[in-house]
């Protein structure tokens, strides 16, 4: 009999896809899961990623970009509602 893979009960990190103000993307950015949840939802992830970007900017010598949107990896982007056709 084949074994089913078990899912971890508590994931250590949550992955996010980020779109920056210049249109560039960054996928699968890791944020500790203990920062998320509660009344703030995913907003603490924005601050954690901004801190990661600040550290990267210091090391690279390039300025950090502003974050336009933030969405959990693996979730589909919101779609436009389908228009009804008349018959």
Say whether pTM exceeds 0.95: no
C-alpha dist (Å) from residue 75 to 41, 54, 72: 15, 26, 6
HSE at residue 20, side-chain half, CA atoms within 13 A, is 13
What local confidence, expressed as pLDDT, does residue 76 receive? 59
pLDDT in tens, the chain (87 residues): 677 766 655 568 899 999 999 999 999 999 998 888 777 788 889 999 999 999 999 999 999 999 999 999 876 555 556 566 666
Q: Residues with Cβ < 8 Å from 17, sequence gap 6 or more?
A: 25, 26, 27, 28, 29, 70, 71, 72, 73
């Amino acid at each position: 009999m084949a074994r089913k893979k078990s899912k971890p009960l508590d994931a250590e990190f949550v992955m996010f896809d980020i779109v920056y103000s210049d249109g560039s993307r960054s996928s699968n950015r890791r944020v500790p899961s203990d920062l998320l949840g509660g009344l703030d939802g995913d907003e603490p992830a924005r601050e954690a990623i901004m801190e990661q970007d600040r550290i990267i900017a210091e090391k690279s010598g390039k300025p950090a970009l502003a974050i336009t949107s933030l969405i959990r990896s693996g979730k589909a982007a919101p779609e436009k509602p389908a228009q009804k056709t008349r018959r």
